[in-house]
Each structure stands twice: as C-alpha cells, then as structure tokens.
A and B are shown apart, each in its own frame.
Chain A
Amino acid sequence: MPVNIKQLAQEFDKKEIGITQGHRLCPGCGAPITVKFVMMVARHLGYEPVVGLATGCLEVSTTIYPYTAWSVPYIHNAFENVAATMSGVETAYRSLKNKGKIPEDKKYAFIAFGGDGGTYDIGLQSLSGMVERGHKVLYVLYDNEGYMNTGNQRSGSTPPGSDTTTAPVGKKLPGKVQLKKNIVEIVAAHENVYAATASLSDPMDFFTKVEKALNFDGPSFLAVFSPCVRFWRVSEDKTVEISKLAVETKYWPLYEVERGVYRVTRKPRQFKPVEEFIKAQGRFRKLLSRPDANEIIAELQEYLDRRWERLLALEEATKDKPIR
C-alpha cells in the first residue's frame, strides 16, 4: 500500500527522489510535480528507476548541459520515440539478465515521460508499438494540452476554444474546432495494458495508480492532467486548483482500465459546470469574447456529460470481465 503524502515527504526528506531542484521549468508547472509523484512512489516501493524522456518542456528544462536535474539513469532520444527507446532499454535489461550479465535481484522500473505532443500525436505510433509488444514500461503522459516547449501550439489534446498559436481564436475561426483525442481509450484498446488518468489534485489516487502500474505484469500508461501555467494563463499557485476543477467538472475524469475492465476511481457527488473551468483560465479569454462562446461551451458540456455516462456504463458492463 502506498503511504500518504506526509509519510512520503518525510521519507524523501532523507533521500533522493531522482529529480532534484534546480531544473528550469516554470514555477507552478505541473510536469515536475507529476515526475516527483511518480518517482517518489517508485522509490518508496523499492524500484530503481531508469527514465526516458520525449523532447518537450520537461526534457529541455531538466538537462541543460553540463547540468542535469536527474540523479537516476536518464535517456532522451528524440521527440516521437521515447516508447521505442524504452522498449530497447527494457529489452536490453531482459537480455542481459538472461545472459547473467547483470544482477537478477535488482528491481528496475522503466519509466517513460512524454508531453501530449510526444504522446497523442507524433509519438503515438511508437507508444502503440511498445504497448502492443508488451514491454514492461510505465509510460507517463504529462498532459498540458499543447506543444508548450515550442510556444503553445495546438496538439491533439488541445480542447476546443483554447487559444494556441497554430489554431488561434480569431475573427473567423474559434480556435481548434476538434475535441481532445481520447488517448486513454486508444491505449486501453491494446487490451493487455493498465491505463489510467490521474490528477495532481488527487495525490492518493495518483499514488495508488502508480503502484498498480509499476506492479502490473506488462505495459502501463498514466495520463496526468498537468497544467501549464505559462500558456494556460493562470497564476503559478493555481496548478492544483485548476487540476481540481478539471476533475470536478468531468473535464478530467479519474478512472482506470485494467485489461479492459473500467473502474471510475473518483465519483464526485456533485459536479460543477465546465464553464467554471473555462473561466478560470486566460487561454479561453478570447473564446469568451466571441458571440458563439456559449454554444461552444454548451457543446463541450454535453460531450463531457455523455462521456461520464458512458464511463459509468463501461464500468458496469466490464466489471469482472477482463479482456485478456
């Protein structure tokens, strides 16, 4: 069982998490908190993490040569291939272990971190390959809903109405018109996988999922709602608050899919309208000044309601029916 935050904090007051202070991510960025949560649980459970990163904010800000914020083995290869790279690392481990070239008793955790661009879009093929082949790697997506490293461009995860530089909210077009790609369903559809969402506002849920993912006998995937304070135009102390709103408005439901079995891990008794989530962030400001703002928000609300109902139905329908 994972310990609570206080215990973890006490434990890691005395030892290394694996990522140290001194990185150059924006204050308030969700990405380093995501990493810390994952690494703390992994280390607490006695795993030796070996970490891979996709190109993006987290990567460029933590390893500016000759400095590195990582005190565990780390590899960055390119933008779209962290899953393939970690497939290679994990396979090397199995091969060398079988040949007796490395100690058998060491408990490695192979962890890949990628932004939404590197996961939903350019890196989707490599992720799919890794999951399909069954590499025992935990893939952690920090979802900040845009290409932030390159300056707030649209990604497959950007919600409609959010102002980005490649799909700006303009006089004619209301920004991106498409909804977010449903990455968890895509990964879960590989069937032999543990896939879940997590939020920085629900650490206990987060920790439990990391533990499940690491102990899962196969590939696992964690989609973490990870605010980008810079381009979401929120103040740097609002990371957790925004994350909480996302969960409370059905925008980011907390659930998991284990070999096809759905489980909603947090069921708020009451939901807030998604409008509150939208209004709390500057990235939707331009949308709000458009005459069709209410229509767009209503559409989003309707979609979120339907998706929530569907999630509950899936939970009911798949109970005790693992697909593999």
Chain B
Amino acid sequence: MERVVEKVAVTGAEAVANAMRQIEPDVVAAYPITPQTPIVEYFARFVADGVVRTEMIPVESEHSAMSAVVGAAAAGARAMTATSANGLALMHEIVYIAASYRLPIVMPVVNRALSGPINIHCDHSDAMAERDSGWIQFFVETNQEAYDLTILAVRLAEHEDVRLPVMVNLDGFILSHGVEPVEFYPDELVKKFVGELKPLYPLLDTEHPVTWGPLDLYDYYFEHKRQQIEAMENAKKVFPEIAKEFEETFGRKYWFVEPYKLDDAEHVMVALGSTNSTIKYVVDELREEGHKVGALKIWMFRPFPKEEIQELLNGRKSVVVLDRSVSFGAEAPLYEAVKSSLYEVAARPMLGSYVYGLGGRDIKPEHIRKAFEDAINGNLIADEQRYLGLRE
C-alpha cells in the first residue's frame, strides 16, 4: 500500500477523533467534559454522517462511559472512550476494573487539573491519580503524536501478551485546542495496521460461557495481581516491536523516551507532554550559548522505562525533572520516579525537582532557562521542590 500522507492543520482533538475514525471501533461510549468535548463531538458527527459504522453510546456520565466500555469490550467489541480530569476521576473505580479484566480499551485523556477548586486548564493531576490503576500510559508532545499513539495504542492494548488498556494523554487546550500540522495516513493503511480485534472469552460466545469479574478472595487475588504485573512487563517487551512496525508502515519512530541533543549533554531536563517543545527551544538557545544541555521526553510513563532512563542519565552532571502535578506530602510523581531510577546507576547526577503549570499556568522559556541555569551553576538540592512561574 502506498503511503500518501495528507498534511492538515488541525487541533489535537480533531487529530485524535480522526485516529478514532480510522480505527473505527465497534463501540464508543462517551460523555463530554472540557477540554475533551471536541473529540466526542467530532466522533459523534462521524457516526451521524455514517462515516463510521461505530455504535455510539451517549451515556449519562463518565462512570457509565467506562462501565459500558468494559461491558462492550468483555462482549468482544473493540471499544473506546475519551475523557478529562473530573470525568477520569469519576471513572476511577472502573478504570481499575478495566485493567484487572485485561480489557484492551484505548482512551485518549485530555489532561486537565483535577478539582478543586474547579479549573478547566491543563495539568497532569488527572492522569497521575490513575498511574497505579494498571493502565499503560502514554504522554504526547504534539498533535501528530496524539494521532500516532492513539493508533499505535490499539495494537499494544490488543497484543496477546499484553491485553491491557491504554491511556493516551494529551495536554488540555495546549494540544486539544491548539492547531498544528498533522500528517494523516491513508485510512486503508491505518485499518490494515490496527487489524481486526481477536476477542478473548467474549460474552457473546454463548457456546463457551465464562464468568467475568467473580469474587476473588485472598486465595487467588494476589496471583491475579501478579499476572497483571507480568502483563505490564510484557508491554515493555512488546512495545518496541509494535513501534518498529509502526515506523515501517508510517515512517515515524516511537520509543519509550525521546532523547534530544543528549549525546554530550551534561545537564538534562526530563518532562512529560507538550512542554517538551518549549524545553527543546530553550535547549537550542542554551546550546548556541555553548552550554551542554539536553532533554529527555518521556513518552511512556507506565510501565515506567526505568532501564532506558538509567542508561541515558547515568553519568550526567545534573538532571532536572519538571512535573505538571504534585503529590501532597511527597515528591512530585515524575521526579520521584526518575530519582528512584537513578538510585542504582554508577554515577548519580545531581537532581532537581521543579513543579510548574498547575491549573494551566503558563510555562515560558525563561522559566525553563532558570531551571537549566540552576543546574549549570550547580545550584540544585535533591530534596527541595521548586516552582516555576509561581507568585511567591
């Protein structure tokens, strides 16, 4: 099949909705919440116009969206939903259940601050609240990545050694409502790449009845959790294969992390999501000024790519981690994960933790520059959480 790409300027929401159109799941259940709403709206239009043969369930809440998607996936359908912030929080109970039932659900999450107080803008507190739910979690920098990883996620979720749900996190408003050029691949190529779902133990197979979601007491629950842990480990093994196939098919390369100007970098900044674009811009500026700086973008947050991070950060002079969420009374989530990964490396870098952008607060190049300057000047304290763009 020929790879004729169509390059269009679209919002992240439209990019994701287009990925969903091309995947054409059997069932989509969804409920609107800013800034996720346009995804559901675009998709509802595809359904209304007969562009896709998906059955859509316009549910009465996110809790029911996730519940219905669990029902549909257990029945043997390819099922998707999308949400943000409080919607994800309302799903929380069923998010865990979806993972424990090993259902290959793909869910774009448009990241938004979690109430309260209520705030509709971007931060990662919603996704972080689900980091231990057993879902694979991607974070994307651009609308292209949002589109690409939504497609790739289907294959990863449905892989027989994985069978786990996947969250594709994209920054609220910044990506969901921001227009960027995106290369859409031909429908046929996407359809071929995602292929057909091979359902396992579907409810609709009445000849082979199974019991989903039994009462699982102390005599087996632990073993079942162990199997989920194994599935997560498998996700790490399988992901590079799928990413390679993705690259061969569509020409774009994905991995656990994306190093930027890292080869000789002494000072490295680590972050999730769209802020990486700003970081790269500042890295370029600082490089022009002769500083050996680089960036490490984390694409896959769960399972956490510990070995890759160790390999790439071992021996650097300093590492600063930017978090768009906090953990009250403890270290910020990404910082904590990076820091603990580096405990075992031979030459531990100096470390700094920077929290930024809560509730959609702007992150500007000068903030990032400031954090880099702290690193360059040796002014980092591993136990001190600092803030970028905060009025004090």
Contact = CB atoms under 8 A, between A and B. Distances in A.
B385 interface: no
Contacts of A85: 67-68, 70-71
Interface in B24-63: 26-27, 29, 53-55, 57-61, 63
B290 interface: no
A88 B69 contact: yes
A50 B215 contact: no
Interface string A128-140: 1100110000000
B97 A92 contact: no
A87 interface: yes
Interface string A101-128: 1100010100000000000000001101
Contact of A73 (B53, B70, B77, B209): B209
Interface residues of A, number: 46
A93 B203 CA distance: 10
B204 A92 contact: yes
Contacts of B212: 74-76
Given A81-B64, A92-B26, A102-B204, A133 B58 contact: yes
B179 interface: no
A139 to B, nearest CB: 14
B76 interface: yes
Contacts of B77: 91-92, 95-96
A50 B213 CA distance: 14
B27 A126 contact: no
Contacts of B53: 95, 98-99
B72 A91 contact: yes
A63 B214 contact: yes
A65 B63 CA distance: 26
B214 A88 contact: no
Interface string B350-388: 000000000000000000000000000000000000000
A83 B60 CA distance: 12
Contacts of B93: 78
Interface string B319-335: 00000000000000000
Contacts of B26: 92, 95-96, 99, 101
Nearest to B75: A92
Contacts of A52: 71
A129 B211 contact: no
Contact of B213 (A76, A89, A126): A76
A84 B213 contact: no
Given A65-B216, A87-B59, A81 B209 contact: no
A125 B214 contact: no
Contacts of A101: 26
Given A73-B205, A98-B53, A128-B60, A88 B210 contact: no
Interface in B164-207: 203-206
A93 B76 CA distance: 9
B204 A77 contact: no
B215 A59 contact: yes
Contacts, number: 163
Contacts of B29: 87-88, 91
Given A91-B55, A98-B53, A86 B209 contact: no
Q: How large is the interface on B (under 10, 10 to 19, 20 to 34, 35 or more residues)?
A: 35 or more
Contacts of A36: none
A317 B134 CA distance: 55
A88 B213 contact: no
A89 B211 contact: no
A305 interface: no
Interface string B1-42: 000000000000000000000000011010000000000000
A87 B63 CA distance: 13
Q: Which of B27, B75, B97 has the most CB of A within 10 A?
A: B75
A256 interface: no
A308 interface: no
A287 to B, nearest CB: 34
A186 interface: no
B120 to A, nearest CB: 23
A96 B29 CA distance: 15
Given A87-B64, A95-B77, A125-B64, A63 B211 contact: yes
Contacts of A102: 76, 204
A84 B71 CA distance: 8
Contacts of A66: 220
Contacts of B59: 84, 87, 129, 133
B291 to A, nearest CB: 53
A72 interface: yes
B53 to A, nearest CB: 6
A265 interface: no
A50 B71 CA distance: 11
B70 A64 contact: no
Given A64-B217, A76-B213, A102-B204, A88 B76 contact: no
A71 interface: yes
A48 to B, nearest CB: 4
A88 B204 contact: no
Given A72-B209, A126-B67, A92 B94 contact: no
Contacts of B206: 48, 50, 72-73, 106, 108
A93 to B, nearest CB: 6
Interface string A252-291: 0000000000000000000000000000000000000000
Contact of A77 (B76, B211, B213): B213
13 contacts: A60-B215, A64-B214, A64-B217, A65-B216, A73-B203, A75-B71, A78-B97, A85-B70, A88-B70, A89-B71, A95-B55, A108-B204, A133-B58
Interface of B: 26-27, 29, 53-55, 57-61, 63-65, 67-77, 79, 93-94, 97, 203-206, 209-217, 220
